[in-house]
């Protein structure tokens, strides 16, 4: 059993999610929004976030090839599951768990653009800026985290720890 150091407790996550949802609801007032969750890590955050939104939304998911059990990024990304909903002329919000190198979101933005949405923005619960390789504009960002391996609240290490209600650092 690995040791995990809790860095963000449930209460802080809950407040942050509520604050992000208020901003998003205000910014898209009177409009419709398509939420695209990036599988699998974002699903816990997304499910909490969407229930706090006060605007009508549709929901879809996209999955990219993961880096595998390794904690290192290859920078090589492929689509494993595309979205099913048409997004032509729709406002799209990509919901991600964490931005690390930035490769995933950079790739997803390029992948989604040819589908001709009216707009595309990014919401990421966590931002790990230390190792960023490509610039990504995170429109709605939750917490900045240090250059450590983060688990919990949907984030995994080799498919473990997604179920933790808090966010923690996997101790080396």
Q: Which of 8, 91, 95, 96 binds ligand IMP (CB under 6 A)?
A: 96
**Please, which residue, 25 or 66, has the CB nearer to ligand IMP?**
66
Q: Which residues are catalytic?
A: 100
Query: In angstroms, rounded to a whole number, what is the distance separating the alpha carbons of residues 40 and 37?
Result: 8
Q: Decide if residue 127 touches ligand IMP (CB under 6 A).
A: no
Q: Which does 100 bind (CB under 5 to 8 A by kind): ligand IMP, Mg ion, none?
A: ligand IMP
Nearest-approach distance from CB 60 to ligand IMP, in angstroms: 17
Q: What share of the chain is helix, strand, coil (3-state, %, to 5)?
A: 25, 35, 45
**Please, which residue, 28 or 49, has the CB nearer to ligand IMP?**
49
66-85 core/surface letters (b: 16 or more CB in 10 A; e: else): bbeeeeebeeebeeeeebee
């Amino acid at each position: 059993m690995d040791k995990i150091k809790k860095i963000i407790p449930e209460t802080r996550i809950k407040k942050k999610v509520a604050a992000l949802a208020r901003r998003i609801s205000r910014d898209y007032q009177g409009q419709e929004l398509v939420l695209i969750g990036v599988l699998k890590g974002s699903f816990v955050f997304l499910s909490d976030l969407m229930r706090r939104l006060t605007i009508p939304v549709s929901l879809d998911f996209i999955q990219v090839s993961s880096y595998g059990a390794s904690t290192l990024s290859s920078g090589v990304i492929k689509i494993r599951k595309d979205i099913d909903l048409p997004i032509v002329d729709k406002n799209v919000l990509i919901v991600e768990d964490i931005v690390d190198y930035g490769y995933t979101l950079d790739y997803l933005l390029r992948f989604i653009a040819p589908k001709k949405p009216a707009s595309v923005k990014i919401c990421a619960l966590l931002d790990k800026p230390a190792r960023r390789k490509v610039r990504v504009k995170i429109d709605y960002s939750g917490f900045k985290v240090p250059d450590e391996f983060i688990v919990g609240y949907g984030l995994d290490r080799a498919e473990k720890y997604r179920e933790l209600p808090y966010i923690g650092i996997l101790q080396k």
